[in-house]
Structure 1
């Protein structure tokens, strides 16, 4: 067979392959369009006089590009580019530009509620603390789209909930009935949102939030800690492998801190000057230590490592008085409570070290 024939034959064999590939691509594209979920209008954010349509997954939001561009330089740049035609001519006015976003409709809706607040949404935000999902959306999308007002507001809120100052955290816990996360996030099982707080702190590079947020994560059970929680859009939020390792290590170290606190304040308790109970006080201290050891659900640190112990211990001894059992005098009670506060404060100072973190502005 001649070389010219071979070359001609190779060329003739090549062209159909290219044509087939192009035809296959066209077929795949058509199939992808046909398989795409039908677009639906958002019930909350569809303004008939809106100037831009944002598509998050299969949900269309018709809003005002001037307002969004004013808040976000990323949106401003995005809107300045030619936009693709809508794939839903039936539901979308042809003359309105369409922008496709990779965000969930739930997150985008939270952002639009903040930037284009309706009367009910504005009243709600002023009157009540936001949910975790609102804070999460404002932090993550505020960072992504450079919406500084929302981003900074969400971080200020988290810094207030997870401060660096021990006394500020104590006051916050007391104001929130010793719930370790805001009560507005829920009462039962809401502690798992601390995982999201850690992830937001990492995203925003705000290391001052991390120690106290990780400490809350250490109070989760193993399943919650590993599996995380479900977001509004059905996706799961988990700790990174690195932060999961920090929590596992931190749990052991916090447990050691607990042992130090108990041994120092109970097992080594010495009656102070001014004690009026003597043997009764010593017996009551010993009984409290014994009950702590017999408790199937240890109070510290698995429940809340920085909770105010005053109410718990005072309530314990008040029950003893009602049962006509040994109780401590006021002098001994004050010594125990002060001692535990000193132990907690000392643990708080070392909290970054417990999690192998370097936090520049952590008080020492």
Structure 2
């Protein structure tokens, strides 16, 4: 269920200043003799989002957007409340419009949001670049714009789900392009999830990281705490190939999985090959949440195959339930309660 913006947030936005004279994005330096550094940055109008029939001007950093109040109110409950407040009688206007200075936001982020509010085509082709996604989620949360925010959050939760049934270990994303470095995308999403409070996607994001190159520069973009979380989690995943979770692969010599095995020697040979070729190798980390592959049953009798698959699925369920803890996070149910939406 979508949560309403907090009273503190609403109060803060409602007190955003309205001014007739655009404000400088740079303060004057008193200790400098360079006249150029004394000059404020020039305010410019957005070339794409300055509509002559608009009746409010939004100033973000040094960029101004002139739009219609009714459109902002339609998208955002925060702006709906703010724009219903009467202007002071002495409040000057610019070209008949009040100027709302949005402190703390970035002009680039607002340009992405304007593109979502004023699309040039109805259908968006292809995935969304990470900087655009981050801008949209950041601002649509801050100003409570559910029509744009909720579909993006839903798609993120589909890509990085909380259930094993919905999970796919293959990075076949539909919302985001993986690009040349999937790790950069995953790291960017981890940072974004931390920033906006979308905690349920963190376990599968951490799991999706490729640890084959520990010198990958993408890891340096994480906070120090999350860097530690990543590598501790990776070490834990390697240890998860223990006797309990892979008992079906490591039976005592002369024994097979099923008590009524049809061919103990053949099944033991098949299990040994599978164990050391896949699950007990360093690369076996990639198979911790992998679904059963029919090729793994090659060489097993029907009875051993049935039991092996059953034990494998049970171990996989256990690993999924434990995955948040592997990365130092609360359990799945607690993460769902922590999500901002």
TM-score (norm 2): 0.68
What's the CA shift for 1:288? 2.5
Q: 3-state DSSP class of the match of 2:123?
A: helix
What's the CA shift for 1:224? 4.5
Which of 111, 118, 139 pairs up with 1:116?
118
| CA displacement, residues 135-168 of structure 1 (integer Å, 9 cap, x when unaligned) | 3223211122232333333332222222222222
CA 46–24 in structure 1, closer or farther in 2 if over 3 Å, else same: closer
Q: Which structure shows the higher helix fraction?
A: 1
CA 73–220 in structure 1, closer or farther in 2 if over 3 Å, else same: farther
Aligned residues: 300
- In the other structure, the counterpart of 1:167 is 165
Counting only pairs closer than 5 Å after superposition, residues 161-310 of structure 1 correspond to structure 2 as: 161-169=159-167, 173=168, 178-179=170-171, 181-182=173-174, 184-186=176-178, 188-217=180-209, 219=211, 221-222=213-214, 223-224=216-217, 226-228=219-221, 238=222, 240-260=223-243, 263-268=246-251, 270-273=256-259, 275-292=261-278, 298-301=282-285, 303=286, 305-310=288-293
What's the CA shift for 1:192? 3.5
Q: Determine which structure has greater relative contact order: mean sequence separation of CA pairs < 8 Å that are 6+ residues apart, divided by chain length.
A: 2
- In the other structure, the counterpart of 2:307 is 335
Determine the C-alpha separation between the residues in 2 that align with 1:334 and 1:85: 79
Determine the C-alpha separation between the residues in 2 that align with 1:282 and 1:142: 57
1:54·1:61 contact (CA, 8 Å) conserved in 2? yes
1:216·1:304 contact (CA, 8 Å) conserved in 2? no
- In the other structure, the counterpart of 1:348 is 320
| CA displacement, residues 84-116 of structure 1 (integer Å, 9 cap, x when unaligned) | 999xxxxxx855554454444443233223323
CA 26–123 in structure 1, closer or farther in 2 if over 3 Å, else same: same
CA 37–252 in structure 1, closer or farther in 2 if over 3 Å, else same: farther
What's the CA shift for 1:278? 3.5
**CA RMSD in angstroms, aligned pairs only:** 4.2
1:140·1:151 contact (CA, 8 Å) conserved in 2? no
What's the CA shift for 1:346? 0.6
- In the other structure, the counterpart of 1:3 is none
CA 262–151 in structure 1, closer or farther in 2 if over 3 Å, else same: same
2:78·2:143 contact (CA, 8 Å) conserved in 1? yes
Determine the C-alpha separation between the residues in 2 that align with 1:151 and 1:274: 56
Gaps of 5+ in 1: 1-22, 87-92, 229-237, 318-326
Gaps of 5+ in 2: 1-27, 336-341
CA 220–340 in structure 1, closer or farther in 2 if over 3 Å, else same: same
CA 205–150 in structure 1, closer or farther in 2 if over 3 Å, else same: same
CA 333–41 in structure 1, closer or farther in 2 if over 3 Å, else same: same
CA 294–345 in structure 1, closer or farther in 2 if over 3 Å, else same: closer
1:218·1:251 contact (CA, 8 Å) conserved in 2? no
- In the other structure, the counterpart of 2:14 is none
TM-score (norm 1): 0.65
Counting only pairs closer than 5 Å after superposition, residues 96-107 of structure 1 correspond to structure 2 as: 97-101=98-102, 102-107=104-109
Determine the C-alpha separation between the residues in 2 that align with 1:159 and 1:283: 42
Q: 3-state DSSP class of the match of 1:185?
A: coil
